[in-house]
């Protein structure tokens, strides 16, 4: 089995991506980040998912994005609740500056060390249209740069940034994951959980619940009662 | 004065770049990394240089590249000494996988937070031709990607990766730095120093000493006696 790097957050999307990489016959090396998140439940979920979905290895890189402030996920900004997502077209405050670029850069180093030519990331251009670093043109530009940045690229191996979810709806992601046997009960998507319980009201929870509804499935993850 | 990010290692090249950014009228925000280097003298030098050359701010980001092993600068590999550099055309073992990509990604986040449109980095394609991520085509590809990755790029501001040293010889870098008043006695370039003393024999020391000789200047930095 060829090695691949899979960026794993502990959320629904990256869990599905890990299952897809396995299904395609890769030996997935999962990579998560401890980056000053306000809650640790995300990393605990990542560990559960890596183990349940057969990652051959799971590494957690410590980086400190709090150094740069600037986002509700890392600084003391209020996470917005009950927003009307259909009416929003601005970059949300939960955007972390250059986050995917930093994550993919570490994945590049990891790929070089284990000899992987494929890096999987669960970016999605539909549900996260407000994030500049979730767009296909960004991913293509990163891949181009990556092939000039590394020893492998120089020596002729083509490195690929794989984004299987990029044009899928949340419902399609969930349907594919369920086909592949992903237990979404062990994932967490919430930006502002209470312990292990998702809030049900932040942007991420709203998108997730809408996705399950459209997929005709029920979300097995635990939510705050309301 | 417009803000700019300057990647600062504590070595000769990045000190010169900081002086150039100041000379061009920027307010330099210096960024260094603590990335599991085998020695801390590099970071101490970066602090001295930031202060001496008038950085308006100096931040040190902690990242752990040891997670990925793979280089003499971060793992327990012997630093090569007394190599015949003119005869070498391979990527050196001191190459750190994806290092410049990771450094520039953090610089991108920092730029976004302080509103800078210019990121200065002291890469050099002549003296470090063995490193894939020191080539002009790599830098151009990173800039392209950066403009798709960030809020500023999306909103129409053009972010630039500035590499003033890219086609200069080491002698030219030193000459320019001396004109700008850089005190090279407070910088350190050595891959394998003994305390504050440079070894004089690793690739970096050889390039530096040759550069001073060609510039007709003497290196004020302290070396191991031999």
Q: A207, A170 in Cβ contact below 8 A? A: yes
Report the alpha-carbon distance of residue B88 to residue B86 in Å, rounded: 6
Residue A171 has pLDDT above 80, yes or no: yes
Report the alpha-carbon distance of residue B87 to residue A49 in Å, rounded: 49
Q: A136-149 and A99-114 helices cross at what angle (nearest 10)?
A: 40
pLDDT of residue A67: 74
Q: Is B62 on the interface with A (CB under 8 A)?
A: yes
**pLDDT band at residue A184 using 50, 70 and 90 as cut-offs:** very high
Which of A110, A149, A151 is facing B68, going by the closest CB pair? A110
pLDDT of residue B129: 57
CA distance, residue B41 to nearest chain A CA (Å): 22
Sequence-distant (6+) residues with CB within 8 A of B182 are B15, B16, B19, B53
Report the alpha-carbon distance of residue B68 to residue B17 in Å, rounded: 29
**pLDDT band at residue A85 using 50, 70 and 90 as cut-offs:** low
Residue pointed to by tokens 């590249």:
B65
Question: Mean pLDDT for chain A?
Answer: 87
Q: Chain B contacts of A109, Cβ < 8 Å?
A: 65, 68, 70, 96-99, 101-102
Question: Can you spell out the DSSP letters for A150-219?
Answer: SHHHHTTPPPEEE-TTTT--HHHHHHHHHHTT--GGG----SS-BTTBB-S-BHHHHHHHHHHHHTT---
pLDDT of residue A58: 96
Average pLDDT on A68-97 reads 62
Q: B203, B83 in Cβ contact below 8 A? A: yes
pLDDT of residue A38: 60
| A170 or A64, higher pLDDT | A170
Which of A62, A96, A153 is facing B132, going by the closest CB pair? A153
pLDDT of residue A126: 78
**pLDDT band at residue A218 using 50, 70 and 90 as cut-offs:** very high
CA atoms within 13 A on the CB side of A107: 30
Q: Chain A contacts of B146, Cβ < 8 Å?
A: 101
Report the alpha-carbon distance of residue A182 to residue A23 in Å, rounded: 12
Q: Residue B13's closest CA among B132, B100, B82?
A: B100
Low-confidence ranges of chain B (pLDDT < 70): 36-39, 69-80, 85-95, 127-130, 152-154, 226
pLDDT tens string B141-190: 999 999 999 876 667 788 999 999 999 999 999 999 999 999 999 999 88
Q: Is B149 on the interface with A (CB under 8 A)?
A: yes
Q: Is B197 helix (H, G, I), strand (E, B) or coil?
A: strand
Residue B89: C-alpha distances to residues A171, B77, B208 (Å): 52, 20, 19
Q: Which CATH architecture has domain A3-214?
A: 3-Layer(aba) Sandwich (3.40)
Which of A102, A113, A148 is facing B141, going by the closest CB pair? A148
Tell me how crowded residue A54 is: count the other CB atoms within 10 A of its CB.
13
Residue of B nearest to A152 (CA): B132
């Amino acid at each position: 089995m060829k090695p691949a790097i899979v960026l794993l957050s502990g959320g629904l999307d990256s869990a599905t991506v890990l299952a897809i990489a396995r299904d395609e016959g890769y030996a997935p090396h999962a990579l998560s980040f401890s980056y000053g998140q306000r809650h640790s439940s995300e990393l605990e979920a990542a560990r559960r998912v890596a183990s349940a979905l057969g990652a051959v290895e799971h590494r957690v890189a410590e980086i400190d994005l709090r150094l740069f402030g600037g986002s509700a996920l890392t600084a003391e900004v209020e996470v917005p609740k009950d927003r009307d997502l259909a009416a929003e077209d601005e970059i949300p405050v939960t955007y972390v500056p250059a986050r995917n670029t930093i994550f993919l850069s570490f994945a590049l180093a990891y790929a070089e060390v284990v000899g992987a030519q494929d890096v999987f990331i669960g970016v999605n251009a539909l549900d996260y249209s407000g994030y500049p670093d979730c767009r296909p043109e960004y991913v293509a530009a990163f891949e181009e740069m990556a092939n000039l940045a590394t020893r492998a690229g120089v020596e002729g191996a083509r490195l690929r940034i794989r984004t299987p979810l990029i044009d899928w709806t949340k419902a399609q992601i969930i349907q594919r994951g369920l086909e592949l046997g992903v237990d979404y009960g062990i994932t967490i998507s919430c930006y502002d959980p209470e312990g292990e319980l998702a809030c049900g009201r932040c942007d991420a929870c709203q998108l997730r619940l809408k996705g399950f509804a459209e997929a005709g499935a029920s979300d097995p993850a635990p939510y705050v009662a309301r």
